[in-house]
Amino acid sequence: MRAAPSNGAFAREAGFAREAKFLALPPARVRPDGQFEGYASLFGVADLGKDLVEPGAFRESLVRRGPAGVKLLWQHDPAEPIGRWLALAEDGRGLFVRGQLSLAVARAREIHALMREGAIDGLSIGFRSEKARTEPRSGLRRLERIDLWEISIVTFPMLPQARVSAVKALRGTPNFARPAFASL
């Protein structure tokens, strides 16, 4: 998808072409404290808008912004922050994320309930393309460098193949810490 589906006025006023990519989360259990994790982007997989994110595309942005500099929003709406990102890391598959819903916020409590019931199942990145090339024959756009602004929980994903890999275990049950985050 070339442009964010909602609140495009924010991007236009800022003078940037903000873009959004959607990824599906499977119906999943979410920790009672609101923590969840999964992939916000997959490398080498074209989405329904004919965009493909290349490995390393997020590297510079993650160094520059870190998790605190990337917002956790509802449906790409900058007026609807719903939590914060605890960890963001590229691995061999894509951009792996761990987030924390702020359950003191009414909208986050609603989303938490919907995620726990499996009704909300999408992640989407909001970004500005810094380096990309389009293949003339296929129209496929290869995103080589991305300035990541936000990652949203959304209703409709653009990349159905991407899924939450796991949801943290409840207190008192085994944890499944990811090696990529062992040093974070």
Please list the active-site residues: 76, 124, 150
Q: Are the C-beta atoms of residues 95 and 41 closer than 8 Å to each other? A: yes
Please give the helix or strand (H or E) that residue 60 lies within, else none. Answer: helix 59-65
Amino acid letter at 76?
Answer: H
Among 25, 170, 34, CA closest to 101: 34
CA distance 148 to 136: 26
| Assigned token pair, 85 | 């990102």
CA–CA distance from 83 to each of 88, 101, 154, 176 (Å)? 14, 4, 14, 22
Identity of the residue numbered 3: A
Triad 100, 45, 65: Cα angle to 5°: 40
